[in-house]
């Protein structure tokens, strides 16, 4: 039987929440468990992308919308929260789920190193993900992704944000599930589309119907995310700082079983 955890600070958001003004996160425990456009190499960096944030979690990063998502950027840093283990924490989920932004915030609150798998791959290849897709296609990108994932998942005491398609390979799923604690950041297709519709850095969404593409990808990948995950986090419209603070007690109490 699956255990269910919840940490709520308000009412549950609807499937589509354009106002993003409700604070709710549901964290479920289960035992079954920058993918952009070929022209993105020349696209100007988003203001928060330049700072290392995942643009996909922004409806708009101008003015109050950015503050609403992240909380105040100048908020004093609290003392790190220690987990009772040094197992790595792996974040999986669709493009636009907020893996980079949530992962970076989680790492800061835990006093851990944060690694973004796509950024790590880009650093090793010397080019952006869209360029790898353009030159080698998705199969070539997936081979490189698997090699970097196999190495990074062996590192203790980190928070690792994976790419949306990292779970497609059975070997990747095995590495993630066996070597650390896997969090599936879940969001509705409508919410994912809202977060990614202005982002040109998504090769797989460079289609005539990106919302339909997201729906197709979700149908294929959602079972794999759930198979791999130890905990499922419904991100909804919760501000990142609130979501992560609500998640911390569950991570502290969570005991991984073989």
What is the structure's pLDDT at 31? 41
Half-sphere exposure of 91 (CA within 13 A, CB side): 31
Higher pLDDT, 37 or 234: 234
Q: How far is CA 216 from its chain centroid? A: 19
- Kindly report whether the global pTM for this prediction surpasses the value 0.75: no
CATH number, span 4-13+21-42+87-253: 3.40.50.300
Q: How confident is the model at residue 159 (pLDDT cuts 50, 70, 90)?
A: very high
SS3 43: coil
Average the pLDDT over 189-207 and give the result.
Answer: 69
Using CB atoms within 10 Å of the CB of residue 136, give its burial: 0 to 12 exposed, 13 to 18 middle, 19+ buried. Answer: middle
Q: How far is CA 122 from its chain centroid? A: 17
Q: How confident is the model at residue 245 (pLDDT cuts 50, 70, 90)?
A: very high
pLDDT at 28 over 60: no
Give me the residue label for tokens 């070997």. Answer: 171
pLDDT digits (tens, 9 = 90+) for 69-123: 444 454 566 789 999 999 999 999 998 889 999 999 999 999 999 999 999 999 9
What is the structure's pLDDT at 76? 63
């Amino acid at each position: 039987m699956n255990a269910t955890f919840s940490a709520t600070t308000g009412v549950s958001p609807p499937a589509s929440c354009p106002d993003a003004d409700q604070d709710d996160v549901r964290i479920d425990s289960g035992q079954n468990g920058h993918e952009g456009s070929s022209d993105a190499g020349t696209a100007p960096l988003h203001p928060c992308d330049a700072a290392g944030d995942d643009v996909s979690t922004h409806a708009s990063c101008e003015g109050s919308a950015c503050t609403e998502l992240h909380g105040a950027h100048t908020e004093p840093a609290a003392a790190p929260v220690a987990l009772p283990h040094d197992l790595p924490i792996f974040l999986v989920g669709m493009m636009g789920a907020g893996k980079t932004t949530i992962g970076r915030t989680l790492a800061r609150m835990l006093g851990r190193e944060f690694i973004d798998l796509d950024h790590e791959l880009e650093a090793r290849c010397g080019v952006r993900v869209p360029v790898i897709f353009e030159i080698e296609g998705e199969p070539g990108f997936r081979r490189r992704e698997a090699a970097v994932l196999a190495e990074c998942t062996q590192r203790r005491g980190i928070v690792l944000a994976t790419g949306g398609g990292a779970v497609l390979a059975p070997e990747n799923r095995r590495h993630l599930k066996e070597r650390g604690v896997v969090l599936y950041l879940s969001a509705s297709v409508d919410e994912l589309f809202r977060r990614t519709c202005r982002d040109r850095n998504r090769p797989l969404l460079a289609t005539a119907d990106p919302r339909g593409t997201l729906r197709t990808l979700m149908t294929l990948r959602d079972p794999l995310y759930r198979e791999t995950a130890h905990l499922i986090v419904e991100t909804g419209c919760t501000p990142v700082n609130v979501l992560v603070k609500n998640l911390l007690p569950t991570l502290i109490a969570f005991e991984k079983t073989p």
